[in-house]
Structure 1
Amino acid sequence: MALSTALEEAYAACDVEGDILDTLEFDHPTLATPLRFVQGTRVPGLYETVSLPVPVEGAVDFTVVAFNFTRPGLEEGGVGRAKLRVDNVSRYLQEALRAAISSDQPFSVVYRAYSTLDTGNPEVFDGLRMGNVSVSPVSATGDLFYEEIEMKAFPGLTYTLDDYPALYGQ
């Protein structure tokens, strides 16, 4: 059986040698700079940070921490939320989470998956929000979700009589 040209190209482009580096970027108005983490096991003196390119900023350091990222699943009521657990939170996230409690702004989270063969083109999931956060001395867990678009005003304008008199038959 012959393969189509498109299928041959898809098989040829498949990366089977490189590793995937899963990263998380937490941002909040109370933070001076975003907190960036790469999934792994920290080895003091040898493997504590990884430098990876980020749009606009260029190469930045991601701190190596253990975290578990569960992608959203399909549930009876629709798509479920993604789950996140970051270990060793007392060292990195606890102060930031405490400062965020007094704010009414949610954490913004960016998930990137870098291939070690081509770090310049990561798979990016941005616009994520973090909610239902619980913090213990050793870890933080939370739900990742996209802002509920159906709750936003569409088209984002308020049609008033002064601005749009034709809509009111005048």
Structure 2
Amino acid sequence: MVTLYKQALAEAYASNPVNDVALDTLEIRHPAFIDDFGNPTAVRVVRGYDDIVATLESTAPMNAGQAVTFIAGAFNFTIPGYKEAQIPQLQITLDNVSLEITAHLEQAIGQLAPIEVTYRPYLLSDLSGPQMDPPINMLLTNVTVDVFQVTGTATLNDVHNWPFPSQVYRPDTFPGLLR
């Protein structure tokens, strides 16, 4: 069975060590999310009580390989399951959202570009990169915002049209195919 989790996170989930904590993070992106200086930005939150500075993977859509700040917040989500004839979905609820998050989401209303969400788990003892390779990237739909929370459903983008197998066998990479 193929696993996306790195060995350290798998061990932390299995043994529940006292000295290490698994940190769940979400990154929400949209072309309309602009910071005070006019640069594209993302909303990054970590489930917990303290902000963290963690390094993104080298293939991240924004700030690849850089250390970024994840703001502490309360959110819930369910990891998507993979069932036959169903598109995997991640249910997200962000509680007590800040005015900044609300403002970014209001900027995205009426835009054609989708809102993207990336789920990355980290270990408190190792913030040098996410403990899942690759992280889960999804599209956020059915977003509702009120003064207390933001809820939405994230789905894998166009999972039915993914190639299978995902690796294409060509003679330039697999010379054994030539006769």
Structure 1: distance between partners of 2:150 and 2:65 = 27
Structure 2: distance between partners of 1:74 and 1:57 = 29
In the alignment, structure 1 residue 150 sits paired with structure 2 residue 160: yes
> Is the partner of 1:63 in helix, strand or coil?
strand
In the alignment, structure 1 residue 82 sits paired with structure 2 residue 90: yes
In the alignment, structure 1 residue 91 sits paired with structure 2 residue 99: yes
The structure in which a higher percent of residues are strand is: 1
Unaligned runs of 5+ in 1: 1-9, 42-46, 153-170
Unaligned runs of 5+ in 2: 1-6, 34-39, 58-63, 163-179
The answer on whether the counterparts of 2:87 and 2:156 sit within 8 Å (CA) in structure 1 is no
Residue 126 of structure 1 and its aligned partner are, at CA, apart by: 3.6
With normalisation by structure 2, the TM-score equals 0.66
Structure 2: distance between partners of 1:92 and 1:82 = 23
> Is the partner of 2:77 in helix, strand or coil?
strand
Deviations 1:8-32 (A, max 9, x none): xx89x82334101111111110112
Where do 1:87-166 residues align within 5 Å? Answer: 87-122=95-130, 123=132, 124-150=134-160
> Is the partner of 2:106 in helix, strand or coil?
helix
Which protein has the larger Cα radius of gyration, Structure 1 or Structure 2?
Answer: 1
Structure 1: distance between partners of 2:65 and 2:146 = 32
Higher relative contact order (CA 8 A, sep 6+): 2
Task: State the aligned residue count.
Answer: 137
Deviations 1:90-125 (A, max 9, x none): 423211111111211111111100012222242252
